[in-house]
Structure 1
Amino acid sequence: MDSLLPAIPAKRYFTIGEVGELCGVKPHVLRYWEQEFTQLRPVKRRGNRRYYQRHEVMMIRRIRGLLYDQGFTISGARNKLMELTQGERQIMRSGAFLDDTLEDNSAQLEASADMSQEEVASDSETPRPAHLYLRSDLSVYQELMQIRLLLTV
């Protein structure tokens, strides 16, 4: 999905037309999604013009993926997004990424970051952090662990 879409430029605000091009969605669809998904709240300025921030563009891409690529209905996508955001909030509240005990297990983190999804799923003896069970997208976890390892070196 994201490989077919253009890269998001380093800007603070995007117009509805720019977001439409970046996400492969027409502006009237974006306006409709604002009504259906409470997470989308673009800034409105002069003449009710909408300006989206980077995190909203990423959210729109996530919604587009759920609806167009994975075949969710609007209500199904809304529920899935709520599950994902609740899971992310639980991860942040638990401090799993900031926990010092994770630093003590850097070798284990390196190994799990290099594993494929199949290897992680089949490896039942290796204890996994709780947030792995909440995230359906293991590649994001792997990328975060690689970044964390780079930062701790």
Structure 2
Amino acid sequence: MELDKLVLDKQYYSISEVAAMFKVNTSLIRYWENEFDILQPKKNRKGDRLFRQEDIHHLKLIYHLLRERKYTIEGAKQKLKEDLKLAARNFEMVQALLKVRGFLTELKDQL
């Protein structure tokens, strides 16, 4: 998934917009919200969830651990507890390496 190419130009995103970004159901986003303490979107008076860029960054990290690294929910919770900063840095490093790989592949194709 090309999560690093997401352009976040709004202050708040609805749950349906966020679910579309990650190509998952809104129910999965709500489930992750219940399971992971780091994910705490704001809610308006109607109770609609409003996701900030920080929340989307946390979702990227959760998505990376669960879907790409194949952690269980409990395993991902433990990983986040152990060192949230390290997990975030590792995720960013993987994303940067994927960008470099894409660039090099593109460059190779042009030669």
Sort the Cα spacing of 1:137 and 1:37 in 2 relative to 1 into closer, same or farther, 3 A: closer
**Distance in 1, Cα, partners of 2:6 & 2:85:** 27
Q: Which amino acid aligns with 1:15?
A: S
Which has the higher mean CA deviation after the structures are superposed, 11-20 or 23-32?
Answer: 23-32
- Render the CA deviation track for 1:14-60: whole Å, top value 9, x for unaligned: 00001101122211001111110000111011211000000111111
Q: Are residues 1:28 and 2:27 paired?
A: yes
User: What residue number does 1:79 align with?
Assistant: 78
User: What residue number does 2:51 align with?
Assistant: 52
How many equivalent pairs are there?
Answer: 95
**Distance in 2, Cα, partners of 1:138 & 1:63:** 13
Q: How does 1:44-123 map to 2 (within 5 A)?
A: 44-85=43-84, 87=86
**Distance in 2, Cα, partners of 1:82 & 1:27:** 25
Compare CA radii of gyration and give the structure with the larger one. Answer: 1
Sort the Cα spacing of 1:138 and 1:63 in 2 relative to 1 into closer, same or farther, 3 A: closer
**Distance in 2, Cα, partners of 1:138 & 1:57:** 14
Secondary structure at the residue paired with 1:56? helix
Kept in 2, the 8 Å contact 1:5–1:23? The answer is no
Q: What TM-score results when the alignment is normalised by the length of structure 1?
A: 0.54
**Distance in 2, Cα, partners of 1:137 & 1:6:** 14
**Distance in 2, Cα, partners of 1:138 & 1:44:** 28
Q: Which runs of 5 or more structure 1 residues have no equivalent in the other structure?
A: 89-134, 143-153
Kept in 2, the 8 Å contact 1:14–1:53? The answer is yes
**Distance in 2, Cα, partners of 1:136 & 1:7:** 18
Q: What TM-score results when the alignment is normalised by the length of structure 2?
A: 0.72
Q: CA RMSD in A?
A: 2.6
